[in-house]
Amino acid sequence: MSVFREDILQGRVAVVTGGATGIGSEIARTLGRHGARVCICSRKSGNLEKAAVDLEADGIECLWLVCDIRLPDQVQHVLDEVLARWGRLDILVNNAAGNFPAPLSRISPKGFKTVVDIDLLGTYNCSKLAFEAWLRDHGGDIVNISAPFEGKGAALQAHVAAAKAGVDSLTRTCAVEWGRHGVRVNGVMPGPIADTEGVERFDAAIGASGGSSVPLGREGARSEIASVVLFLVSEAASYVSGQVFAVDGASTVDQLGMASRLAELEAAWPER
């Protein structure tokens, strides 16, 4: 059950990169359930086919295309197909990302470059080409999915943290440069989100659950990221641009990392 009216994106067209699985598939479904026609793209056709069947079963008009966002020609192909099919492009969600947890000493130059190429260069490719293909002349909305590492060191995530800091920077610069074209650009930094490959792999690597240290006391749901993306591309956010929102149950602002110990500390504290 959504708190948003179900037709708020009626007539609009969205591209969600990495839209076949995880957070991306929930974003695609949420935009579609609110009226948008949705193109999902990623590297694996099997995942895309399955996701498209699910979206169509939900009554969502969708298109799926294989695309490696590192390759500008493949991104351009996606945009050409979307414009040929639907004649417009209103929303771009740069969600696709590559990641593996590893200490910096175990990340090869190629491993580091691979993640930066997917996360940062891929976001640049899609944003720039979508701007040239449609957004420059018609306006629209871009949402970049990054990670809540801003201003911090991120052990086992050196490549991702560096790339996502670049994505957040790109969010702000694109918002400034493209604002006069009616393009709003915002970012979302998801905290630990349940049922996602990234969190599962990270938890497996460190032998812990990401939810235990979250001030709200739990991992987030994919739908809790998708609903913030929906807000950002809706008219409700028409004067919001250049902002990057942590959607992480207050993890980012827990500077002292005390959340998981507070109940115990408070109980033992002398009464006043």
Footprint of ligand COA on this chain (CB under 6 A)? 97-100, 102, 106-108, 110-111, 114-115, 118, 197-198
Give the DSSP per-residue string, 52-74: HHHHHHTT--EEEEE--TT-HHH
Cβ proximity to ligand COA, 98 vs 211, nearer residue: 98
Residue tagged 């990392």 (tokens): 257
Cβ proximity to ligand COA, 20 vs 129, nearer residue: 20
Smallest gap from Cβ 3 to ligand COA, in A, equals 27
Smallest gap from Cβ 240 to ligand COA, in A, equals 25
Cβ proximity to ligand COA, 72 vs 179, nearer residue: 72
Smallest gap from Cβ 131 to ligand COA, in A, equals 25
Half-sphere exposure of 107 (CA within 13 A, CB side): 18
Cβ proximity to ligand COA, 86 vs 202, nearer residue: 202
φ and ψ of 145, to 5 deg: -90, 120
Half-sphere exposure of 29 (CA within 13 A, CB side): 23
Smallest gap from Cβ 26 to ligand COA, in A, equals 14
| Cα–Cα distance for residue pair 66/68, rounded to 1 Å | 7
Smallest gap from Cβ 37 to ligand COA, in A, equals 25
Residues 6+ apart with CB under 8 A from 10: 34, 35, 36
Residue tagged 């006043």 (tokens): 272
Identify which of 238, 191, 223, 239 has the alpha carbon closest to the alpha carbon of residue 34.
Answer: 223
Cβ proximity to ligand COA, 108 vs 255, nearer residue: 108
